[in-house]
A and B are shown apart, each in its own frame.
Chain A
Amino acid sequence: MPTPAIETKELTKHYGDLVAVDHISFEVRTGEVFALLGPNGAGKTTTIRMLTGLTRPTAGDARVLGFDLRRDLPRIKKHIGVVPERSNLYDELSAFDNLVFAMQLYGVPRRERGARADELLRRFRLEGKRDVPFARLSRGMRRALTLAAALVHRPRLLFLDEPTVGLDVVSAHGLRALIERLRGEGVTIFLTTHYLEEAERLADRVALLVQGHIVALDTVEGLKARVRRGSTVEVHLVGAAGEERLCFHGEDTEAALRLALAHAEAEGKQVVTINTLQPTLEEAFIELTGLSAEVMLAEKGSSNVA
């Protein structure tokens, strides 16, 4: 079995009396997209900050790419890329120079820097902004360039902290497509988000983080299965009196279907379509965390998921 990309044991962070992250233990498998989902203040960013060495854990242990977080941090940093929540490149430097500076810090050989920077600019559709200072790029472009800067040294593990916050629908969609492509290239991705749909769309597995605790960790389907109570079908009926859409709930799909057909026969209506309804991640989130989905969205504005 390959070494997990991330392995934490009882990882904890206190800020004075505040417990930001409280004894969390989890594994991120090599090559997967792992999402840490939770509302603001849940401890998502603190978890990333600990795993990337920006802040030291108060207690607990972690291994990143097989290296001990406390002892081997410089080695870990060589193999990870990080996209913080805030796009934080240098305003005064051009898109090209920002990428070159990142490569200089990571020891990318001088002869490769120019070509690699141009390749990344093309990949992120920023080749036309090569010499434009970072400060003068649009928000979506700044986000894309920040992601490009995290990839200059071809990291094996990429941390993305709320990657699409503040982006318009088109930019967010483009960024998600890039994330999916990186997954296809074998990069392990650790993602934090408060967008349920984003986690559902991108993640292989999702951990629900609430007030510093992981309350559930599973695949999206696994989380949904935990809240599945019976089965629901939606039927579209047409009859002399008009048409209607109704939902029928049963112990399983067959039972729900029987109820729907019995209703159609009793009303003298014809069934046009039948859809089985799956529980959404939102329903799973609400049931497993005791929070409402609105809590997630209310704090940062509405979802930009396209």
Chain B
Amino acid sequence: MWRDDLRGIFYIALKDMRAYYLKPPNISWGILFPGALILAFAIRTPGDLRVLAPGLVTMTALFSATSMEAIVITFERRTGALERLMLAPITLPAMLAGKVLGGILFGLAISAVVLVGVTAGFGLAAWRLAPAFLALLLSTAAFSALGALVSVAVREVFEAQTLANLLRFPMIFLCGVFVPLSRLPAVLQVLARALPLTYAVEAVEAALLGTPGWPMAFDLAVLAGFTALLFALAAAILRRRLD
């Protein structure tokens, strides 16, 4: 059975990449929007642009991993295509994992391009790419699982888009992308600690600008925990909705 599940996960992700992700609007949305935000911030607040690199890379990961993931399940539920996957000889978690894997692969591919760009552009050491890529892997997993949760929590595609933005935009301003957490009021710092983007920014920052070590390992562990929790919630909600 696990072989069927693994095969299903792989081919569902592959199909989603072909059918949804690899369309020009998705690619441009994943790169241009975070780039434009960072550029606007850099113009408004000149200084060492290198400090913005982790935020840019992580924000790209967030937007690219959730851009389609947050609507694809809702969309396929509306068209009936999700039922086709449910009829295949795979379990519901495997079907959902296929969807999440699609988001991870796309998020990872887009943010890796940005990662390589900022590493080269800011003259960062090439060895930093490896820990940064690991941080992005865990980050996109958490973001894609978040997208899946959004996607199963609503009934209409436009609701999914609204809810996804409702979560993404506050996260950008709360989680250390533009402003370090330490400069936020205490209550917002507590709130930021409950959001996966905070740990993603910290991990990528440690990988690119700091010293990858135990603090980064803790961030990665928290991101893995977020992934598991968000995925389990999404699977439970989807099961209930199908019943």
Give A residues with C-beta under 8 Å from B. 52-56, 74-75, 77-78, 82, 84, 86, 88-93, 97, 101-102, 104-107, 149
Q: With A88-B80, A93-B15, A104-B11 as given contacts, are A74 and B4 in contact (CB-CB < 8 Å)?
A: yes
Which residues from chain B contact A93 at a C-beta distance below 8 Å?
Answer: 15, 18-19
Which residues from chain B contact A77 at a C-beta distance below 8 Å?
Answer: 87-90
Assess whether A107 is in contact with B4, with CB atoms less than 8 Å apart: yes
Assess whether A74 is in contact with B91, with CB atoms less than 8 Å apart: yes
Assess whether A101 is in contact with B11, with CB atoms less than 8 Å apart: yes
Which residues from chain B contact A89 at a C-beta distance below 8 Å?
Answer: 81, 84
Q: Mark B57-83, 1 if CB is under 8 A from A, else 0.
A: 000000000000000000000011101
B157 within 8 A of partner (CB):
no
Which residues from chain B contact A86 at a C-beta distance below 8 Å?
Answer: 80
* Residue of A whose beta carbon sits closest to that of B98: A105
* Residue of B whose beta carbon sits closest to that of A82: B87
| A147 to B88 alpha-carbon distance, docked (Å) | 15
Q: Known pairs A105-B7, A149-B84; list 10 more (Cβ under 8 Å).
A: A54-B242, A88-B79, A88-B80, A90-B81, A92-B18, A101-B15, A102-B84, A105-B88, A105-B90, A106-B89
Residue from B4, B19, B86, B89 within 8 A of A90 (CB atoms) = B19
Residue from B79, B85, B91 within 8 A of A105 (CB atoms) = B85
Which residues from chain A contact B89 at a C-beta distance below 8 Å?
Answer: 74-75, 77-78, 105-107
Which residues from chain A contact B91 at a C-beta distance below 8 Å?
Answer: 74
Q: How large is the interface on B (under 10, 10 to 19, 20 to 34, 35 or more residues)?
A: 20 to 34
Which residues from chain A contact B81 at a C-beta distance below 8 Å?
Answer: 88-90
| A117 to B4 alpha-carbon distance, docked (Å) | 20
**Chain B's nearest CB lies how many Å from the CB of A113?**
11
Which residues from chain B contact A82 at a C-beta distance below 8 Å?
Answer: 87
Which residues from chain B contact A107 at a C-beta distance below 8 Å?
Answer: 3-4, 7, 89
| A90 to B1 alpha-carbon distance, docked (Å) | 25
Which residues from chain B contact A74 at a C-beta distance below 8 Å?
Answer: 1, 4, 89-91
B8 within 8 A of partner (CB):
yes
Q: Mark B144-159, 1 if CB is under 8 A from A, else 0.
A: 0000000000000000
* Residue of B whose beta carbon sits closest to that of A85: B80
Q: Mark B100-134, 1 if CB is under 8 A from A, else 0.
A: 00000000000000000000000000000000000
* Residue of B whose beta carbon sits closest to that of A58: B243
Minimum-distance CB pairs A-B, first 7: A88-B80, A77-B89, A105-B88, A104-B11, A92-B19, A78-B89, A86-B80
* Residue of B whose beta carbon sits closest to that of A86: B80
* Residue of A whose beta carbon sits closest to that of B15: A101
Q: With A90-B19, A101-B11 as given contacts, are A54 and B86 in contact (CB-CB < 8 Å)?
A: yes
**Chain A's nearest CB lies how many Å from the CB of B96?**
14
Which residues from chain A contact B4 at a C-beta distance below 8 Å?
Answer: 74, 78, 107
| A90 to B19 alpha-carbon distance, docked (Å) | 8
Q: Kindly name the residue among A52, A75, A77, A149 whose own CB sees the greatest number of chain B CB atoms within 10 A.
A: A77
| A102 to B89 alpha-carbon distance, docked (Å) | 11
* Residue of B whose beta carbon sits closest to that of A52: B87
* Residue of A whose beta carbon sits closest to that of B85: A105
| A106 to B84 alpha-carbon distance, docked (Å) | 12
Which residues from chain A contact B18 at a C-beta distance below 8 Å?
Answer: 92-93, 97
Sample of 7 A–B contacts (CB below 8 Å): A52-B87, A54-B86, A77-B89, A88-B79, A88-B83, A97-B18, A104-B11
Which residues from chain B contact A90 at a C-beta distance below 8 Å?
Answer: 15, 19, 81
| A55 to B92 alpha-carbon distance, docked (Å) | 12
| A97 to B87 alpha-carbon distance, docked (Å) | 18
| A90 to B81 alpha-carbon distance, docked (Å) | 7
| A52 to B83 alpha-carbon distance, docked (Å) | 10
* Residue of B whose beta carbon sits closest to that of A105: B88
Which residues from chain A contact B3 at a C-beta distance below 8 Å?
Answer: 107
| A88 to B4 alpha-carbon distance, docked (Å) | 22
Q: Mark B18-44, 1 if CB is under 8 A from A, else 0.
A: 111000000000000000000000000
Q: Kindly name the residue among A82, A84, A102, A107 whose own CB sees the greatest number of chain B CB atoms within 10 A.
A: A107
**Chain A's nearest CB lies how many Å from the CB of B12?**
8
| A74 to B94 alpha-carbon distance, docked (Å) | 12
Which residues from chain B contact A52 at a C-beta distance below 8 Å?
Answer: 87
Which residues from chain B contact A78 at a C-beta distance below 8 Å?
Answer: 4, 89
Q: Mark B200-243, 1 if CB is under 8 A from A, else 0.
A: 00000000000000000000000000000000000000000011
Residue from B84, B90, B242 within 8 A of A88 (CB atoms) = B84
* Residue of B whose beta carbon sits closest to that of A159: B87
**Chain A's nearest CB lies how many Å from the CB of B92?**
10
* Residue of B whose beta carbon sits closest to that of A80: B87
* Residue of B whose beta carbon sits closest to that of A13: B243
Q: With A74-B91, A93-B18 as given contacts, are A104 and B80 in contact (CB-CB < 8 Å)?
A: no
Which residues from chain B contact A53 at a C-beta distance below 8 Å?
Answer: 86-87
Which residues from chain B contact A75 at a C-beta distance below 8 Å?
Answer: 89
